[in-house]
């Protein structure tokens, strides 16, 4: 490791498009001085514009960042990431570097292999990828804010056609599109059946929205519930889900969701997942939301477990690789995908079955407000890739869709932090207080009702108020505190002053604590009153609703086969997770999405592998 390179960490090396090709001979003198002009790429060591320039200025050649000669750079940028780590250290090594306002930029919850290149680019502006979700700003060398790009389904038509005319570059049993929970579950399940699997992910990091999931994964009749003496029934989960979804859910899909939920937990735990903590989510009759011990975030954990398993089983995961078209054969069966790789460009992959696990579109406000104009201009809780690319690709292939007009706002998004505050905070005892210092809603009612109630308050926002016991009951709260958007005071009057809450906050808390003690919430009929709010310090987070989940999507049958607008099965095409419609009806219950993506992702993978085996 070169010592002088360890310090300016933000000046990482990295590469993108055309680099290996263009570096060719110039790279041969790796470590030596380079020309400031190599074929196809101009570097300006005298006036660095990007990381390639700054490296060149330091006298380092192309092969310092790239592994070998022309053509060796692939879409995952594995060699380039390895070289960053060789010179600068791993994310763990760098955890204390780049700390800003107490936030450690290199200590991230992103899953998968470390991708330095997600932020640090060689030949184009670097980006602060974390700023796509968080509201904090990090300066990044030669960088700019991250701007997600929406798919233009018909762009580069000529190049797409050239790739299609060239025929399939390779063939696999199963293609999975999307590396969120549904995609990873499908990939693992298909490999368990012996199918070869290629998984494409358009983003530079894996995990989709699934990696952000916080509160838990719903399941009924589980071992963890039994160990805690919680009596639950599959039928109760079905009833809660149908009621929450305003009874327009597809009952067959809901039955599968609930019946297989415990087995999905067992499947994950057999891979090493820790899902032993059980909490309450809105609209649930009992505690059935499973998460890691101490109430840590469920999504980063589950996706990491699935990612590791997928890698262990030999799934070929390709990041920076957008599927731009489903390709059909002469009989109309789906027989492959057209991919646009960041480095490799357009290419065609043949497959016996394709699983669409492309998630939702909450982050695309133009599309959201097209289906629900009330949500125009709303912020979103989602990751930057949740813009409906998969939906567009599927629609182009003639799939039927369902319930697209049902879009959910999560009630508690922090405008200051730019992130969602998990429902588990309320589940563990926090209450909602308005600017007049009053409670105004059952905090654990369904999201549609809680969100509407918050929007009806002065300032269209409210405050989540909790105490130190609640903080200690849920690890996830520590991350909100470390992100710096939680107000804190030793007294309720001090907290009210800091938050700008008028009226008599202490009286509202006393009233709530009395109800909690009596086990009966006469004011708002909250069923679950886990603990009083009485142990200082006290905390408050300003919250307002933000677009969170798109209930509608691709229409599937009970075996996750995709239907066309005539209700006919499109052979070879499967879909699972938030990309689909039907499971959640008009309103999803908290905790049901992770359950959905694992259960239906698993079914899709198995069914896709079955089709491949039968071919």
Residues 370-429 that bind ligand MEZ (CB under 6 A): 422-424
Q: What number of helices (H) and strands (E) belong to the chain?
A: 19, 26
Which residue's CB is nearer to ligand FAD, number 372 or number 389?
389
Q: Which long-range contacts (CB under 8 A, 24 or more apart) does 161-164 make?
A: 162/346, 163/338, 163/345, 163/346, 163/347, 163/348, 164/327, 164/338, 164/348
Smallest separation, CB 132 to ligand FAD (Å): 11
Q: With contact defined as beta carbons under 8 Å apart, do 170 and 349 qualify?
A: yes
Smallest separation (angstroms) from ligand MEZ to the CB of 529: 19
- The option from ligand MEZ, ligand FAD, none interacting with 182 (CB < 5 to 8 A, set by class) reads ligand FAD
Q: Which of 178, 206, 208, 215 binds ligand MEZ (CB under 6 A)?
A: 215
Give the pairing type, strands 217-218 and 277-279. Answer: unpaired
581 binds, among ligand FAD, ligand MEZ, none (CB under 5 to 8 A by kind): none
531's tokens: 């603990």
Nearer to ligand MEZ, 483 or 593 (CB): 593
CB of 411 to ligand MEZ, least distance (A): 9
If phi over 0 gives left and psi between -120 and 50 gives alpha, with beta otherwise, what is residue 300? alpha
Give whichever of 212 and 354 is closer to ligand MEZ, judged by the CB atom.
212
> Please, are residues 100 and 10 in contact by the beta-carbon 8 Å criterion?
no
State the residues that interact with ligand FAD by CB under 6 A: 177-183, 200-203, 208-210, 212-217, 298-299, 322-323, 357-359, 381-382, 385-386, 389-390, 393, 420, 549, 577-579, 591-594, 597
Identified binder of ligand MEZ from the candidate list 214, 310, 431, 462, rule CB under 6 A? 214
Q: Which of 156, 147, 157, 195 is nearest to 175 (CA)?
A: 195
41 binds, options ligand FAD, ligand MEZ, none, Cβ within 5 to 8 A by partner type? none
- The yes or no reply on residue 590 touching ligand MEZ (CB under 6 A) is yes
**Which of the choices ligand MEZ, ligand FAD, none does residue 382 contact, using the CB cut-off of 5 to 8 A by kind?**
ligand FAD
CB of 214 to ligand MEZ, least distance (A): 4
**Beta carbon of residue 402, minimum distance to ligand MEZ (angstroms, whole number):** 20
Of 225, 288, 287, the closest CA to residue 258 belongs to: 288
Work out how close the CB of 327 gets to ligand FAD at its nearest, in angstroms, rounded to a whole number. Answer: 13
The single residue listed with the structure tokens 């075996």 is 559
Backbone angles phi, psi at 413, to 5 degrees: -105, 135
Among residues 191, 288, 426, 447, the one annotated as catalytic is 447
> Residue 179 binds which one of ligand MEZ, ligand FAD, none, with CB within 5 to 8 A depending on kind?
ligand FAD
390 binds, among ligand MEZ, ligand FAD, none (CB under 5 to 8 A by kind): ligand FAD
Other CB atoms within 10 A of residue 216 CB? 32
CB of 513 to ligand FAD, least distance (A): 28
Helix, strand, or coil (residue 283): coil
341: partner contacted, choices ligand FAD, ligand MEZ, none (Cβ within 5-8 A by kind): none
CA distance 356 to 562: 9
CA distances from 333 to 292, 487, 609 (A): 41, 56, 16
Which residue, 541, 508, 488, 376, is CA-closest to 436?
508
- The partner in contact with residue 389, picked from ligand MEZ, ligand FAD, none with C-beta cut-offs of 5 to 8 angstroms by kind, is ligand FAD
Of the candidate residues 591, 595, 598, 600, the single one contacting ligand MEZ (CB under 6 A): 591
Query: Nearest-CB residue to ligand FAD?
Result: 180
Contact call for residues 579 and 356 (beta carbons, < 8 A): yes
Q: Tell me how many residues contact ligand MEZ (CB under 6 A).
A: 10
CA dist 443 and 102 (Å) reads: 31
Using the minimum distance from each CB to ligand MEZ, give the nearer residue, 215 or 417. Answer: 215
191 as an active site residue: the answer is no
Residues 35-64, mask of contacts with ligand MEZ (x by CB under 6 A) = ------------------------------
Q: How far is the CB of 579 from ligand FAD (least distance, A)?
A: 6
What is the chain's Cα-based Rg? Answer: 25
Applying the rule CB under 6 A, the residues between 430 and 459 that interact with ligand MEZ are none
Contact present, 335 and 356 (Cβ < 8 Å): no
How far is it, in rounded angstroms, from Cα 496 to Cα 519?
26
User: Could you tell me the two tokens for 507?
Assistant: 């009286």
Q: Which residues bind ligand MEZ (CB under 6 A)?
A: 214-216, 281, 422-424, 590-591, 593
Catalytic residues: 447
């Amino acid at each position: 490791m070169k010592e002088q390179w360890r310090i300016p960490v933000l000046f990482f090396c990295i590469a993108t498009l055309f680099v290996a090709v263009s570096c060719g001979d110039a790279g041969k003198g790796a470590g030596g001085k380079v020309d400031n002009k190599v074929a196809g790429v101009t570097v300006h060591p005298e006036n660095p514009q990007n990381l390639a320039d700054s490296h060149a200025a330091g006298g380092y050649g192309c092969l310092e960042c790239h592994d070998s000669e022309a053509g060796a750079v692939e879409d995952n940028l594995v060699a380039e990431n390895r070289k960053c780590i060789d010179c600068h250290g791993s994310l763990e090594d760098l955890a204390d570097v780049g700390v800003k306002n107490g936030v450690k930029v290199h200590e991230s919850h992103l899953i998968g292999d470390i991708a330095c290149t997600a932020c640090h680019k060689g030949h184009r502006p670097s980006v602060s990828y974390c700023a796509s979700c968080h509201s904090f700003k990090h300066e990044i060398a030669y960088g700019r804010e991250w701007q997600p790009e929406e798919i233009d389904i018909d762009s580069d038509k000529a190049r797409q056609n050239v790739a299609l005319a060239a025929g399939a570059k390779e063939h696999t049993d199963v293609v999975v599109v999307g590396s969120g929970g549904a995609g990873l579950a499908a990939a693992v399940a298909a490999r368990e059946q012996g199918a070869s699997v290629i998984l494409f992910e358009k983003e530079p990091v894996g995990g989709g929205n699934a990696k952000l999931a916080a509160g838990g994964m719903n399941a009924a009749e589980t071992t963890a519930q039994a160990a805690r003496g919680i009596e639950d029934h599959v039928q109760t989960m079905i009833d809660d889900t149908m009621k929450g979804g305003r009874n327009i859910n597809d009952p067959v899909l809901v039955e599968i969701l609930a019946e297989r939920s415990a087995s999905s937990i067992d499947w994950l735990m057999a891979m090493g997942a820790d899902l032993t903590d059980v909490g309450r989510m809105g609209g649930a009759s009992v505690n059935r939301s499973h998460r890691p011990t101490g109430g840590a975030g469920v999504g980063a954990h589950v996706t990491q477990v699935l990612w590791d398993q997928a890698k262990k089983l030999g799934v070929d995961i390709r990041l920076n690789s957008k599927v731009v078209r489903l390709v059909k054969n002469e009989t109309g069966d789906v027989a492959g995908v057209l991919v646009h790789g960041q480095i490799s460009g357009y290419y065609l992959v043949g497959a016996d079955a394709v699983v669409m696990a492309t998630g939702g579109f909450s982050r695309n406000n133009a599309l959201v407000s097209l289906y629900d104009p009330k949500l125009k201009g709303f912020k979103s809780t989602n990751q930057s890739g949740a813009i409906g690319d998969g939906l567009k690709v599927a629609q182009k292939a003639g799939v039927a869709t369902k319930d697209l007009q049902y879009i959910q706002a999560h009630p508690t998004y922090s405008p200051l932090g730019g992130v969602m505050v998990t429902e588990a905070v309320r589940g563990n005892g926090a209450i909602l207080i308005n600017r007049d210092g009053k409670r105004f809603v059952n905090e654990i009612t369904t999201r549609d009702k809680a969100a509407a109630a918050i929007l009806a308050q002065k300032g269209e926002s409210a405050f989540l108020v909790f105490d130190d016991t609640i903080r200690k009951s849920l690890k996830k709260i520590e991350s909100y505190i470390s992100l710096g958007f939680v107000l804190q005071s030793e007294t309720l009057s001090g907290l009210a002053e800091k938050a700008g809450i008028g009226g008599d906050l202490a009286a509202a808390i006393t009233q709530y604590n009395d109800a909690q003690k009596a086990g009966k919430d006469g004011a708002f009929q909250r069923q679950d009153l886990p603990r009083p709010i009485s142990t200082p310090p006290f905390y408050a987070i300003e919250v307002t609703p933000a677009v969170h989940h798109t209930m509608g999507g691709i229409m599937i049958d009970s075996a996750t086969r995709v239907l066309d607008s005539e209700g006919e099965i499109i052979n070879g095409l499967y879909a699972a997770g938030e990309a689909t419609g039907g499971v959640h009806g008009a309103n999803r219950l908290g905790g049901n999405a992770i359950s959905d993506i694992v259960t239906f992702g698993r079914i899709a993978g198995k069914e896709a592998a079955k089709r491949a085996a039968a071919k």
